[in-house]
Amino acid sequence: MANAPGIGQALNAANRVADVKATKFAWNLVVGVVHMCQLPCHNNPSDYYSVELILQDREGDRIQCSISKADFVVYSTLIREFGVYNMKGFIVQTPGRGVRTTSHKFKLSFYLKTCVSLLSVDAFPFSPFRITPFPGVVAITQAGQCYLIDCIGQVVSKEEIVDMVTHTGEASK
């Protein structure tokens, strides 16, 4: 994890997320971490097997990135949600049958030689939220797509609390 060059130099040398493909190995990305979460183990939900990231470049393009639990030990003190980083040296893969969080054709995976350098949050205009209106959510699901989106709701009415009994006979409100 070597020190990164100046921010301007890093931005000029950076590749676009939209250009990522499996035929090249030496990708150099300047990205913000939009979302970061741990995927729990199937047989032990209190433990995790990988950390999943959604990375966004300055053009707004996003790609999913995985870090195995063993490799995350190296990066756990450096990578944070909403941080901006210069990242180099990924394994490019096609998404498997697991969780798919972006529409990008490929997904990135860290390995021990992946270099990560923290940049100033002023490195590029980073807006991690893409609010999707409800008709957009419906369109995504009708198209058979299943990606992580940002959605916000609005309270449209309020009613008095009513006592009721559920179909199993339990009292509820």
CATH code for the part of the protein at 7-119: 2.40.50.140
Q: What pLDDT does 143 receive?
A: 58
What DSSP string describes the chain? Answer: -PPP--HHHHHHHPBPGGG--TT----EEEEEEEEEEEEEPSS-TTSEEEEEEEEE-TT--EEEEEEEHHHHHHHTTT--TT-EEEEE--EEE---SS---S--S-EEE--TT-EEEEE-TTSS------B--HHHHHHHHHTT-----B-------------EE-TTS-EE-
Question: At which residue do the structure tokens 């053009």 appear?
Answer: 59
Give the pLDDT confidence score for residue 4 in this predicted structure: 43
82-86, 88-92, 93-97: range with lowest mean pLDDT: 93-97
3-20 confidence digits (pLDDT tens): 444 566 666 678 888 899
Distance CA 65, CA 138 (A): 26
| Token couple for 13 | 């040398």
- In 3D space, the residue among 49, 56, 52, 76 whose CA is nearest the CA of residue 65 turns out to be 52
Greater model confidence, 124 or 89: 89
The string of pLDDT tens digits covering residues 49-76 is 788 899 999 888 899 888 888 888 888 8
Per-range mean pLDDT, top range of 2-16, 105-119, 127-141, 152-166: 105-119
Mean pLDDT of the chain: 80
More confident residue, 170 or 122: 170
Encoding tokens for residue 154?
């609005």
Q: What is the pTM of this model?
A: 0.71
Query: What is the pLDDT at residue 10?
Result: 63
Q: Tell me the one-letter amino acid at 97.
A: R
**Structure confidence at residue 5 (pLDDT):** 46
* pLDDT one-digit tens code per residue, 33-44: 998 888 888 788
Give 148-158 pLDDT, tens digit per residue.
666 667 777 77
